[in-house]
Amino acid sequence: MLPVINENDSVSVDELKFGDNDTLAGMLGAMLGAELTVILTTEQGLRVRNADGSLGERIALVDRITPEMIASAGDTDNGAMSIGGMISKLRAATLVTEAGAHLWIADGRQEGILEHIAEGDDVGTLFCPRRSRLQSRKCWIKFFARTAGALIVDAGAAAAVEKHGKSLLPSGVVRIAGNFKRGDTVEIRDPEGRVIARGLSNYGSAECAALLGKHKDELAKLLGSDADAEFVHRDNLVLHAVPGGACR
């Protein structure tokens, strides 16, 4: 049995859509634990734009997806039936490689393309997985879970989370956005509004608002010694940064 899966764009509700079939393919590949996800398109592979706006040569192997690569990729997939273009394929590649698997983009019009891929021939573009695989729980938080709100933090808390892998404490949060419940996924934003991480909140938005700026000893007095000391624990937090990758 070979399942065929496609998002029904004609009846999808915007807030429930994955966005395009590239993203859907990446999500399925990650969820199923596939070692390789293949996306067939009308391009020979990944080509990024040069400074003069022209398209560069096909890139055969990508072991690191960089912000510059995403910024310069542009919509290079000119097929009439394409929705997402190369940008969406890079997003799918980011998702799959963070989950610890390979993703291959190739021209579906080329005869025997799947056989070429199975043989490891020099076709399309192969994206290699990260050496440090993102845990499935954190992969779900980063890519699949829908955010219900945001916690805006000060510069010190932003550095603690982004640079040192710390949990998010109430003392570093300056503002709450949205209406969310305990266990919902929230964005963590720095003072400039940049999303630096996503995570599962230990408190609802009303509780968070009441606990803004509180330190651990103050939380214990208000809620008892068994209360969660963090708004978002580091075990339930994942950075938003564009990942690197490395071929094993």
Looking at residue 241, its pLDDT comes to 67
**Residue in 174, 195, 173 with CA at minimum distance from that of residue 240:** 195
- Provide CATH 3.40.1160.10 ranges for the chain: 14-129
- Provide CATH 2.30.130.10 ranges for the chain: 138-239
Please state the pTM of the whole predicted model: 0.63
pLDDT higher than threshold 80 for residue 100:
yes
Looking at residue 30, its pLDDT comes to 83
Residue 236: pLDDT band (50, 70, 90) is very high
CATH architecture type of domain 14-129: 3-Layer(aba) Sandwich (3.40)
Residue 53: pLDDT band (50, 70, 90) is confident
Residue 98: pLDDT band (50, 70, 90) is confident
Question: How far is it, in rounded angstroms, from Cα 127 to Cα 37?
Answer: 10
With b for 16 or more beta-carbon neighbours within 10 A and e for fewer, the 144-179 pattern comes to ebebbbbbbbbeebbebbbeeebbbbbbbbeebbee
Looking at residue 239, its pLDDT comes to 92
Return the number of other C-beta atoms located less than 10 Å from residue 78's C-beta.
Answer: 11
Q: Whole-number mean pLDDT of the chain?
A: 84
Decide if 105 contacts 25 (C-beta within 8 A). Answer: no
CATH architecture type of domain 138-239: Roll (2.30)
Looking at residue 81, its pLDDT comes to 42
